[in-house]
């Protein structure tokens, strides 16, 4: 998925002159996706050490994981919204067959 995201960023940068708004939205979406993947991995790696050093209770551990995964999912929703808006950006309001 990370290689796909890098490929999508490169592809959108190559197509920038033809579709600037869609390419911008796609690039932003996949940059957020890459940042989310790296930050989420780092946070998940350090959570067990944080829990042992703070001596958290079971309820606090559940809340911590809830918020970490909630914000991870929220970032993923932002990526999906940006990609959908890129797909529908710069579309003509009238169909091509309407003029014929």
**Mean pLDDT, consecutive 10-residue segments, the chain of 100 residues?**
92 90 93 94 90 85 91 94 90 63
Residue environment code for 37-61, b if the CB has 16+ CB neighbours within 10 A, otherwise e:
beebeeeeeeeeeeeeeeeeeeeee
In this structure, are residues 64 and 43 in contact, taking their beta carbons and an 8 Å threshold?
A: no
Q: In this predicted structure, what is the pLDDT of residue 76?
A: 94
Q: In this predicted structure, what is the pLDDT of residue 51?
A: 83
Task: Report the candidate in 12, 5, 13 with the shortest Cα–Cα distance to residue 32.
Answer: 5
Q: In this predicted structure, what is the pLDDT of residue 89?
A: 85
Predicted TM-score (pTM) of the model is 0.80
Q: In this predicted structure, what is the pLDDT of residue 66?
A: 93
């Amino acid at each position: 998925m990370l290689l796909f995201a890098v490929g999508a960023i490169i592809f959108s940068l190559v197509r920038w002159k033809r579709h600037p708004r869609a390419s911008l939205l796609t690039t932003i979406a996949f940059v957020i996706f890459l940042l989310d993947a790296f930050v989420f991995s780092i946070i998940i790696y350090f959570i067990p050490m944080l829990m042992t050093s703070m001596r958290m209770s079971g309820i606090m551990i559940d809340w911590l994981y809830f918020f970490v995964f909630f914000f991870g999912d929220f970032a993923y929703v932002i990526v999906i919204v940006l990609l959908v808006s890129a797909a529908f950006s710069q579309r003509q309001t009238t169909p091509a067959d309407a003029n014929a």
